[in-house]
Amino acid sequence: MISQATQTHTVPTSLQSPRAKLVYLFLSTHGTASINELQDGLNMKKISLYSILKTLQKQDIISKDGDRYTLV
């Protein structure tokens, strides 16, 4: 028998945008990511990602270290 570990990730209630929620969940499962990894993993345009990431940084939900983004 194969057992599967299930992780649940709670999205902050302050996140209203579906795309912001996707970015949050991507980072919660991958730890850190570059803009290119987010673009490839979420199939989103960089211009959209930059706007979302800027908003999440202002809300102190994520931080940027070099070219990597991570949850706070």
Can you give the residue ranges of every domain in the chain? 18-71
**Euclidean distance between CA atoms 43 and 8, whole angstroms:** 23
Tens digit of pLDDT for each residue in 32-44?
999 999 999 999 9
pLDDT score for 10? 86
| Topology adopted by domain 18-71 | Arc Repressor Mutant, subunit A (1.10.10)
pLDDT score for 51? 97
**Does pLDDT of 3 surpass 60?**
no
Helix (H) or strand (E) holding 10: none
